[in-house]
């Protein structure tokens, strides 16, 4: 049995490598994919030996291997557009199986997975966990780390993971039960995850499946660790989901929130998703949302936030003695009082003058659509500011009147730009809001003068 299993693994590995080669030379198509499947199984799909869904799974595994070899250590966001172009040239998944629907097997697109790794800011000392690994797309471009743990409930996908990531530890438990079923020795400091969105093991249809998986991951994550999670589009701070959202991130800081409208079309679905960067440190959980159509669009605008190093609390916790039968109250009286946890001193934010330049010549107007044009700060260029997450417009009449050149320089906390708390348009408002307040204390308007205000 062992010899037959080894022979089967060798044939599967050779098939993955063959498809990976066709991807590398830009010749991957359905015909070559199906030919490789016929060689792997010794017959066609007519007799049920394999299905087109199996062929697409082989393609995904080959793409994972290709990404690992081509872009082993991605360092720059400029690579994302190249990856997007690469996957656009691959065959589109057109067939679904019962298992795919049952396990919600919609693998992470290669460009989105690479962006997730860049946002994760992995460290050489990290213990990395992927709770719903699939074919390992989310860790394909991961640099060398201390340990890699892949969890995948589908046996056939685990077989491919063993070939693609021989150095990794693999398990096959329900990702929603990580907190209680995963070996206690696995203490991840970084988790990359794309959970099932609407189905759970034992529950079937489950609209909150993704939230259950995310909460399990947060529970298992080491204090101070980071999670990069691909979540369904409905998981937001809306009134309907506010309580669930706030409870989920009660012990966390949400560093980045990105909405992507079109990134799964090659997997055969047009579902929109939200990408979250989460640190297990109490803090702000409602950042500004960066909304874009594609991964290539967001790559040029997304902020990269470095990991925060948190020293673990080395002081052992007092463990209360077990109560003996009939001595419950005595045990409660004998329970030692734990020492109060010392509050960590709050870091004093750095406040400095905003760096921006004024434009003597106003910025040119954008392309007109009806009676509107895209809004743009006409007189200021703010260093390090990002675009507003949603499109802003103004009427053609308003846009044709440039704003005055400001001379007021506000002082802001450094995290305003570092964490993209305010967009370029919002910071412009701060500049102009401070200008009249500053001048009002210096010079009152003369008798008979009038003041006009132009609101954009």
- Specify if 35 maps to a domain: yes
Q: Inform me whether the pLDDT recorded for 321 exceeds 50.
A: no
Residue 415's pLDDT band, with cuts at 50, 70 and 90, is confident
Q: Are residues 295 and 424 in the same domain?
A: no
pLDDT value of residue 322: 46
Q: Can you give the residue range of the structural domain that contains 127?
A: 2-299
What does the pLDDT average to over 122-139?
A: 93
Q: Inform me whether the pLDDT recorded for 182 exceeds 90.
A: no
pLDDT value of residue 267: 72
Q: Are residues 269 and 131 in the same domain?
A: yes
Q: Are residues 198 and 288 in the same domain?
A: yes
User: Among 26-30, 132-136, 443-447, where is mean pLDDT lowest?
Assistant: 443-447
What does the pLDDT average to over 79-84?
A: 85
User: Among 146-160, 174-188, 428-442, where is mean pLDDT lowest?
Assistant: 428-442
pLDDT value of residue 441: 43
CA atoms lying within 13 Å on the CB side of residue 162 = 15
pLDDT value of residue 342: 58
Q: Are residues 272 and 125 in the same domain?
A: yes
Q: Are residues 8 and 100 in the same domain?
A: yes
The pair of structure tokens assigned to 142 is 């991961």
The pair of structure tokens assigned to 378 is 């006409």
User: Among 248-252, 260-264, 409-413, 436-440, where is mean pLDDT lowest?
Assistant: 436-440
User: Contact, 227 vs 221, CB < 8 A?
Assistant: yes
Q: Are residues 156 and 66 in the same domain?
A: yes
Q: Are residues 134 and 224 in the same domain?
A: yes
pLDDT value of residue 54: 87
Measured distance CA(124)–CA(143) in Å, rounded: 8
Residue 325's pLDDT band, with cuts at 50, 70 and 90, is very low
Q: Are residues 163 and 289 in the same domain?
A: yes
- Specify if 435 maps to a domain: yes
Measured distance CA(432)–CA(408) in Å, rounded: 8
CA 143, 144, 147 angle in degrees (round to 5)?
Answer: 125
Residue in the structure block whose two tokens are 């979250």: 276
Q: What percentage of the chain exceeds 70 in pLDDT?
A: 79
Q: Are residues 223 and 98 in the same domain?
A: yes
Measured distance CA(236)–CA(217) in Å, rounded: 18
Measured distance CA(139)–CA(73) in Å, rounded: 11
pLDDT value of residue 76: 54
Residue 331's pLDDT band, with cuts at 50, 70 and 90, is very low
- Specify if 96 maps to a domain: yes
Q: Inform me whether the pLDDT recorded for 218 exceeds 70.
A: yes
Q: How far apart are the first and last CA of the chain?
A: 74
pLDDT value of residue 148: 96
Residue 445's pLDDT band, with cuts at 50, 70 and 90, is very low
Measured distance CA(430)–CA(354) in Å, rounded: 11
Closest to 113 measured CA to CA, from 299, 291, 287, 248:
299
Residue 91 burial (C-beta neighbours within 10 Å; 0-12, 13-18, 19+): middle
Q: Are residues 28 and 167 in the same domain?
A: yes
Q: Inform me whether the pLDDT recorded for 6 exceeds 70.
A: no
pLDDT value of residue 118: 92
Q: Are residues 292 and 355 in the same domain?
A: no
- Specify if 245 maps to a domain: yes
For residue 419, the tally of other CB atoms under 10 A from its CB is: 18
Residue 21's pLDDT band, with cuts at 50, 70 and 90, is very high
Q: Inform me whether the pLDDT recorded for 63 exceeds 80.
A: yes
Measured distance CA(455)–CA(417) in Å, rounded: 24
Higher pLDDT, residue 201 or 230: 230
Residue 28 burial (C-beta neighbours within 10 Å; 0-12, 13-18, 19+): buried
Measured distance CA(143)–CA(440) in Å, rounded: 56
- How many helices (H) and strands (E) in the chain? 15, 16
- Specify if 291 maps to a domain: yes
What does the pLDDT average to over 309-324?
A: 45
The pair of structure tokens assigned to 151 is 């969890």
Measured distance CA(141)–CA(25) in Å, rounded: 19
What does the pLDDT average to over 2-12?
A: 68
Helix axes 52-70, 110-120, angle to 10 degrees: 40
Measured distance CA(431)–CA(411) in Å, rounded: 10
Measured distance CA(229)–CA(120) in Å, rounded: 10
Indicate the average pLDDT of the chain: 80
* Consecutive H or E run containing 8: helix 2-24
Distance of CA 119 to the CA centre of its chain: 7
Measured distance CA(221)–CA(216) in Å, rounded: 9
pLDDT value of residue 448: 37
- Helices (DSSP H) in 49-154: which residue ranges? 52-70, 79-88, 98-103, 110-120
- Specify if 49 maps to a domain: yes
pLDDT value of residue 200: 64
Q: Inform me whether the pLDDT recorded for 296 exceeds 80.
A: yes
- Specify if 375 maps to a domain: yes
Q: Are residues 14 and 87 in the same domain?
A: yes
Higher pLDDT, residue 3 or 384: 384
- Specify if 376 maps to a domain: yes
Number of domains in the chain: 2
């Amino acid at each position: 049995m062992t010899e037959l299993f080894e022979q089967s693994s060798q044939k599967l590995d050779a098939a993955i490598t063959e498809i990976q080669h066709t991807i590398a030379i830009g010749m991957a198509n359905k015909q070559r994919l199906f030919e490789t499947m016929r060689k792997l199984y010794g017959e066609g799909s007519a007799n049920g030996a394999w299905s087109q869904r199996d062929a697409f799974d082989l393609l995904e595994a080959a793409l994972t291997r290709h990404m690992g070899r081509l872009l082993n250590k991605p360092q720059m966001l400029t690579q994302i557009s190249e990856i997007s172009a690469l996957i656009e040239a691959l065959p589109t998944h057109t067939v679904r199986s019962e298992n795919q629907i049952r396990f919600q097997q919609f693998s992470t697109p290669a460009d989105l997975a690479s962006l997730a790794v860049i946002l994760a800011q992995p460290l050489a000392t990290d213990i990395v966990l992927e709770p719903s690994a699939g074919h390992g797309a989310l860790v394909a471009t991961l640099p060398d780390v201390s340990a890699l743990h892949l969890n995948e409930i589908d046996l056939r996908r685990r077989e491919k993971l063993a070939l693609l990531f021989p150095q990794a530890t693999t398990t096959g438990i329900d990702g929603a039960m990580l907190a209680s079923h995963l070996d206690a020795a696995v203490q991840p400091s970084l988790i990359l995850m794309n959970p099932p969105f609407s189905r759970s093991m034992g529950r079937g249809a489950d609209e909150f499946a993704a939230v259950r998986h995310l909460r399990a991951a947060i529970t298992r994550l080491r204090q101070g660790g980071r999670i990069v999670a691909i979540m369904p589009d409905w998981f937001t701070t809306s009134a309907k989901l506010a309580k669930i959202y706030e409870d989920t991130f009660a012990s966390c800081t949400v560093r980045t929130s990105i909405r992507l409208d079109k990134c799964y079309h090659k997997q055969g679905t047009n579902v929109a998703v939200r990408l979250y960067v989460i640190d297990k440190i109490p803090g702000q959980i409602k950042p500004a949302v960066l909304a874009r159509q594609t991964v290539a669009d967001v790559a040029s605008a997304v902020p990269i936030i470095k990991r925060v190093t948190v020293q673990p609390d080395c002081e052992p916790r007092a463990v209360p003695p077990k109560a003996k039968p009939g001595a419950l109250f005595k045990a409660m009286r004998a329970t030692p009082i734990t020492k109060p946890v010392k509050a960590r001193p709050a870091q004093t934010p750095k406040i400095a003058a905003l760096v921006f330049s004024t434009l003597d010549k106003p910025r040119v107007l954008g392309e007109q659509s009806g009676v509107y044009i895209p809004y743009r700060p006409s007189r200021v260029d703010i260093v390090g500011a990002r675009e507003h997450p949603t499109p802003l417009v103004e009427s053609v009449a308003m846009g044709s009147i440039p704003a005055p050149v400001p001379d007021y320089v506000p002082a802001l906390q450094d995290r305003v730009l570092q964490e993209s708390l305010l967009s370029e348009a919002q910071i412009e408002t701060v500049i102009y809001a401070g200008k009249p307040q500053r001048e009002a204390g210096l010079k009152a308007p003369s008798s008979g003068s009038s003041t006009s205000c132009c609101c954009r």
